[in-house]
Amino acid sequence: MKVGKFFRAPFLALNALLFCAHAALSATSSYADAQMPRQNITKVPKLQLDPMRGTASVDLSVMTYNVAGLPWPIKKGREAALKDIKHEIETLHASGRAPDIIVLQEAFTPAAARIGAVYPNRLQGPAAADRSVTGAAPIGEDFRRDRSFLKGERLAKLMPSGLFVLSDYPIVSAEMTPFQPASCAGYDCLANKGAMIATIEIPGAPAPVQILTTHLNSNRSSGVSPERALAAHRQQVDELGALMARGLNADWPFIYAGDFNTRHSRARFGHNAQTLPGVFVREHCLDPAAGCETRIPSEQGKAPWLETQDLQGFVSGADIDVRPIRAEKMFHEPVGGRVLSDHDAYLVTYRLTWKLDVFAAADRPPAPLQR
C-alpha cells in the first residue's frame, strides 16, 4: 500500500477514518453482496480428451490485479480509473474473454469493490473489524514495543483487507483471516491486511481447486526502515503458513496469486519460497522445456520473479496435475491517456489434467459455503 507522503500528519489519518466511515455507510449493499457469494455456474469449461494417454484436461485462467483502490487523501483521482477497470472487465466478460477467476488487492473503496460485479460468485476478504485467527506465534515483543503512532502502527484498522475473489465457477468453501494486529509495519497497519483461501469447484474435474490470495507488507512506501518492514513481511508470510496448514486439503490442487511485495528483494522472496509450497510460475516458465508461453517481454532475465510484486504459484493435487501453459500481462496499456493502476494485471492460464478413470465431479452439487 503506497501511502507514504500522505500520512505525514495525524489529521490526515483522521480524514481517512472519516472517509472509511462514510464509505462503509454508502457501500453497505455492495460489500454485503461481496460477502455472500452465489453458487452459480455461468461457464462450462471446455473438456479436452486424449484417448491415447487416457487423460482429460481443462484450462483455467487466473488473474491477480492490485487495482490501487485507495481512498482520498491516500490517493487522489482514482474514481475514473476504477470505473474504467470495471468497464474493461465487464466488456471482456460479455465477450467470453475474461479470466475464469480474478483475485483483487487494494479494492478498498466502493468503486473498487464494484469491480467484477458481473462475476456470479464473489468473495470479499477480511473486514476492518475482523480479528486474526491464524494461530501463528506473535511477532516479537521488541517489534511491538517500537510501534509508532505517527506511522499508523498504533491506530485502529481504518480499512479492510482490500481482497476479493471473483469466479465464474462456484466457490464452495473459504478460509480467511487478517494478519495479527501487530504483524505490520508503518502505514500498511492502517489496512487490515490478510489472506484468504477460496475452494472453487470446476465442472467436470475430479476435485476442486484451492485459490489463495494475499497482500503483504510493502517496503519503502510503508514509511519505516527496510529492516522493520522486512520483519513484518516475514511475520505475515509465517502467518500465511499457519493459514495454509489449517485451510488446505493436500489432495487438491492449489494456486496462489497476489501482491507479495517482493520486488528487488531476495530476502523477501526467499522467505516466501521457503514457506509457500510448489513452484512460482515465473520460475517454471523460464525453462524452455516447460511448455509455458510467456507473453511478458521483460521476463527474459535470470530472475524475472524479482522484477515484480505480483506472483502466482501452483501445486498439483493427488488426482489433478497442474501446469501453467501461458503467462501474460493485462491492463498495462493506458486507457484514455491514463494508466489504470500502478500494477499491471498478471494472468496465468493453467492446464488441469487427470486420468479418465478418475471419478469426475460434474454432477456433484456444490457444497454450501463455509466461513
What's the number of CA atoms in the CB half-sphere (13 Å) around residue 343? Answer: 27
Answer for the pair 117, 167: CB distance below 8 angstroms, yes or no: no
| pLDDT tens, per residue, the chain with 371 residues | 544 433 333 434 434 443 444 443 333 333 333 344 456 767 889 999 999 999 999 999 999 999 998 886 677 668 889 999 999 999 999 999 999 999 999 999 999 999 999 999 999 999 999 999 988 999 999 999 999 998 889 998 999 999 999 999 999 999 999 999 999 999 999 999 999 999 999 999 999 999 999 999 987 777 888 899 999 999 999 999 999 999 999 999 999 999 988 776 676 777 777 788 888 998 898 888 989 998 887 655 667 766 777 899 999 999 999 999 999 999 888 787 788 887 899 999 999 999 998 654 444 454 544 44
What pLDDT is attached to residue 43?
82
What pLDDT is attached to residue 23?
40
What pLDDT is attached to residue 298?
64
What pLDDT is attached to residue 343?
83
Torsions phi, psi of 160, nearest 5? Answer: -75, -170
Residue 252 CB partners (closer than 8 Å, separation 6+): 199, 207, 208, 209, 210, 317, 318, 320
Bridge partners, residue 55, by sequence: 50, 355
* Segment holding 330, helix H or strand E: strand 321-330
Amino acid at 78: R
What pLDDT is attached to residue 271?
76
What pLDDT is attached to residue 265?
64
Hey, what CATH topology would domain 4-36+58-355 get?
A: Deoxyribonuclease I; Chain A (3.60.10)
| For the chain, domain boundaries | 4-36+58-355
Distances 359 to 55, 319, 346, 351, 354 between C-alpha atoms, Å: 12, 9, 32, 18, 10
User: DSSP letter at 179?
Assistant: P
What pLDDT is attached to residue 56?
96
What pLDDT is attached to residue 30?
32
Reported pTM: 0.85
Alpha carbon dihedral 262, 267, 269, 275, in 10-degree steps, equals -130
Torsions phi, psi of 144, nearest 5? Answer: -65, -40
Whose cell is 501452483? That residue is 314
Picking from 43, 38, 153, 62, the residue whose alpha carbon sits closest to that of residue 350 is 62
> Each residue of 129-146: b (16+ CB within 10 Å) or e?
ebebbbebeebeeebeee
